[in-house]
């Protein structure tokens, strides 16, 4: 007969089982926390990045008065930053597909902090352009919504649309709190202190990302999950470009960039100043736009999991176009400016979670970072066009009417393009 285990052996076995159970529980807890840790840290990082971009629009009139710079020059600086973002967007997306987002985020935040400190230290136009469009532009291009969207798609198993909406809403959420605070700094001290404060905040965010953001990709995500063979960048790009869904999403997102980052992020605050409103009420209106934008992005993410996505995205574009009718009518009415901010906020960045979901389903998760990066490059090129030509048209006509009317009709066109997509794709890119 086998020998019965002693009490000591039973206690030892029980202790081993308890330790094993605790290890398993801890691993499961970490597994459950990992997606939401990524969502939360991405939210804050995007809040700082997009607040830095908004700060440029806030101080643009001050730069022109203090340093005697033209609206064409300041708009050109904003456009150059958007071009930098366009160049980096596909590369950042490719890195996320292959390596995960942690290193991309750290490099981007480091560049953003350095750029903010350089901006605060210079008055030379060329140095300012290089600091904002070059150094900060690297941060804008690497810490971007397409990087976060691809990461969420890799890491989150359920309610991907909602998770993407929450994570990417950081692009606007921080602005309704941060931009008004920056306006107070600008009004009571100097515009340079706004960029110093942003630089310090970004350094703190870098430390948080280095400490808590998971390194690498979750097991079973990315290429491993798709079972695809290794393909070169050229092969993937060629295959993506041949897909009709990519062309539709690219050109609609190009228009999205023109009507949001281009004309609104760059020219909304200068337009408010042109209408006679001070820095603080203008920033409050922008803050309201950003706060409602937060609601719009999360709501769009929630709806993405539940309704026909092309119809949802097309409706967002058409409604966005109609809001420009209100903006044309602002005049000297602060109430009308706030009405526009509320309405536009609902349909501003709400395209992001829907577009991200369509990229994943119609092009493929394996190359989502690259594909969404290429589409985001189109967004930034469109934004650069809106930022630059908005300034040029203002210098020519001394008013913004043509900018707002062009935005209306382009947004309607984007809505029509998106409605050509099916809810369920006929084919998805799996191999190169």
CATH number of the structural domain spanning residue 256: 1.20.1250.20
What's the pLDDT tens digit per position in 281-317? 887 888 788 889 889 999 999 999 899 999 999 999 9
- 171 within domain boundaries: yes
Statement: residue 430 has pLDDT above 70? no
Mean pLDDT (the chain) is 84
Dihedral, CA atoms, 268, 269, 274, 280, nearest 10 degrees? 140
What's the pLDDT tens digit per position in 90-136? 999 999 888 888 889 999 999 999 999 999 998 898 999 999 999 99
Distance CA 248, CA 336 (A): 34
Statement: residue 413 has pLDDT above 80? yes
Number of domain units in the chain: 1
Distance CA 100, CA 180 (A): 34
Average the pLDDT over each of 63-77, 251-265, 409-423 and give the range with the smallest value.
Answer: 63-77
Average the pLDDT over each of 127-131, 152-156, 324-328 and give the range with the smallest value.
Answer: 152-156
Cβ contacts of 304 within 8 Å, gap of 6 or more: 161, 162, 164, 165, 312, 353, 354, 357
Statement: residue 215 has pLDDT above 80? no
Statement: residue 229 has pLDDT above 70? no
- 33 within domain boundaries: no
- 303 within domain boundaries: yes
User: What confidence score (pLDDT) does residue 245 get?
Assistant: 95
User: What confidence score (pLDDT) does residue 281 get?
Assistant: 87
- 271 within domain boundaries: yes
User: What confidence score (pLDDT) does residue 226 get?
Assistant: 44
Statement: residue 247 has pLDDT above 90? yes
- 3 within domain boundaries: no
Least Cα distance to 57 among 78, 85, 73, 82 occurs for: 78
Instruction: Categorize the per-residue pLDDT at 223 as very low, low, confident or very high, splitting at 50, 70 and 90.
Output: very low
Statement: residue 8 has pLDDT above 70? no
Domain of 65? Answer: 38-218+227-418
pTM above 0.85, yes or no: no
Query: Of 273 and 344, which is predicted with more confidence?
Result: 344
Statement: residue 354 has pLDDT above 80? yes
- 89 within domain boundaries: yes
Phi/psi region, residue 373 (left: phi>0; alpha: psi -120 to 50; beta: rest), is alpha
User: What confidence score (pLDDT) does residue 31 get?
Assistant: 54
- 13 within domain boundaries: no
Distance CA 164, CA 424 (A): 20
User: What confidence score (pLDDT) does residue 232 get?
Assistant: 85
Output DSSP code: residue 262: I
What is the residue whose two structure tokens read 């730069």?
Answer: 63
State the average pLDDT over residues 338-346: 95
CB atoms within 10 A of CB 166: 23
What's the pLDDT tens digit per position in 372-402? 999 999 998 898 888 888 888 888 877 888 8
- 59 within domain boundaries: yes
Instruction: Categorize the per-residue pLDDT at 138 as very low, low, confident or very high, splitting at 50, 70 and 90.
Output: very high
């Amino acid at each position: 007969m086998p020998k019965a285990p002693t009490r000591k052996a039973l206690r030892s076995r029980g202790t081993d089982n308890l330790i094993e159970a605790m290890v398993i529980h801890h691993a499961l807890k970490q597994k459950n926390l990992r997606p939401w840790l990524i969502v939360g840290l991405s939210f804050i990082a995007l809040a700082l990045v997009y607040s830095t971009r908004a700060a440029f629009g806030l101080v643009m009139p001050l730069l022109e008065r203090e340093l005697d710079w033209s609206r064409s020059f300041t708009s050109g600086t904003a456009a150059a930053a958007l071009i930098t973002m366009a160049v980096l967007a596909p590369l950042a997306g490719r890195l996320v597909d292959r390596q995960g987002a942690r290193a991309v985020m750290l490099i981007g935040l480091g560049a953003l902090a350095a750029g903010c400190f350089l901006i605060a230290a210079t008055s030379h136009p060329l140095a300012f352009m290089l600091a904002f469009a070059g150094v900060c532009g690297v941060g804008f291009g690497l810490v971007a919504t397409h990087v976060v969207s691809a990461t969420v798609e890799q890491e989150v198993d359920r309610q991907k649309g909602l998770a993407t909406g929450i994570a990417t809403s950081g692009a606007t959420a921080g602005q309704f709190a941060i931009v008004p605070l920056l306006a107070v700094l600008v009004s009571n001290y100097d515009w340079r202190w706004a960029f110093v404060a942003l630089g310090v905040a970004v350094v703190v965010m870098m430390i948080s990302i280095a400490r808590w953001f998971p390194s690498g990709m979750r097991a079973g995500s990315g290429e491993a999950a798709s079972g695809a063979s290794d393909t070169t960048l050229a092969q993937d790009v060629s295959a993506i470009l041949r897909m009709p869904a990519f062309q539709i999403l690219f050109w609609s997102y190009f228009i999205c960039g023109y009507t949001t980052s281009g004309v609104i992020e760059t020219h909304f605050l200068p337009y408010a100043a042109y209408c006679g409103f001070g820095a603080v009420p203008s920033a409050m209106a922008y803050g309201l736009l950003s706060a409602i934008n937060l609601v719009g992005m999360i709501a769009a993410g929630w709806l993405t999991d539940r309704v026909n996505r092309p119809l949802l995205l097309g409706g967002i574009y058409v409604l966005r176009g109609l809001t420009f009718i209100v903006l044309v009518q602002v005049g000297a009415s602060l109430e009308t400016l706030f009405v526009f901010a509320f309405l536009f906020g609902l349909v501003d960045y709400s395209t992001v979670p829907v577009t991200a979901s369509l990229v994943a389903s119609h092009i493929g998760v394996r190359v989502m970072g690259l594909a969404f990066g290429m589409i985001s490059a189109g967004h930034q090129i469109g934004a650069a066009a809106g930022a630059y030509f908005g300034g040029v048209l203002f210098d020519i006509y001394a008013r913004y009417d043509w900018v707002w009317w062009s935005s209306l009709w382009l947004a309607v066109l984007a809505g029509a393009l998106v409605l050509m997509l099916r809810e369920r794709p006929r084919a998805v890119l799996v191999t190169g």
